[in-house]
Amino acid sequence: MGDSTEIAAQKREVRRDLLAVRAAMADDEVAQAARQLAGHALELPELAGARTVAAYVSVGHEPGTAELLATLRARGVRVLLPVLLADDDLDWAEYEGAGRLVEAEHAGRIRLLQPGGRRLGRDAVTEADVVLLPGLAVDGRGVRMGRGGGSYDRVLARITAAGARPALVVLVYGHELVDAVPWERHDRPVQAAVTPEGAHRFTPLD
């Protein structure tokens, strides 16, 4: 680790490069990767036994989650999706199908979809058996790099404060499994990543 200013600059540079690679992906490549990723994710033992899963609706060229969400719901799993708040924190609501998703009010230029039903509160995520996380990269220690907005840092801090111990799984592309990402003490490692090529597990940080 370096000082926080240095680490923040490193993260910005890495994010820029990773987002450029995603932007260059063809739409059919993204769609095929989403199907493959869903298949591998649904084979995870953690998801097979989960009653409640916190997930998210993918946007743009993120690894696609639509098929994964639909299959989990069809299995009878209670799926919680984030509702973006004005302060970039996340409330939660149940996924009731793709037709019940609405555009987020506070997403700026991004067309972000979220549930239109009753909000359950910021702490609802602590009820999840598995939390599926977006990310731009993850390293061999399970250190995840997000987009930098801090929304999921707050979610993970809330989970820790509540004493909850869900399985934390990040969804990324295969080339986003990297040797190391810049990290800070507040970064909470994940236990696994799922890519279109398969699942990967990590040794926890000390």
Return binding residues for ATP: 11-15, 144-152
Q: Which distant-in-sequence residues (6+ apart) come within 8 Å of 117 by Cβ? A: 93, 94, 96, 100
**Vertex 61: Cα angle to 151 and 9 (nearest 5):** 50
List binding-site positions for substrate. Answer: 57, 62
Distance (Å, whole) CA 43 – CA 169: 13
List binding-site positions. Answer: 11-15, 57, 62, 144-152
DSSP letter at 45 equals H
Distance (Å, whole) CA 22 – CA 6: 25
Q: How far is CA 27 from the centre of its chain?
A: 20
Distance (Å, whole) CA 21 – CA 151: 23
Closest CA to 81 of 108, 109, 59, 110: 59
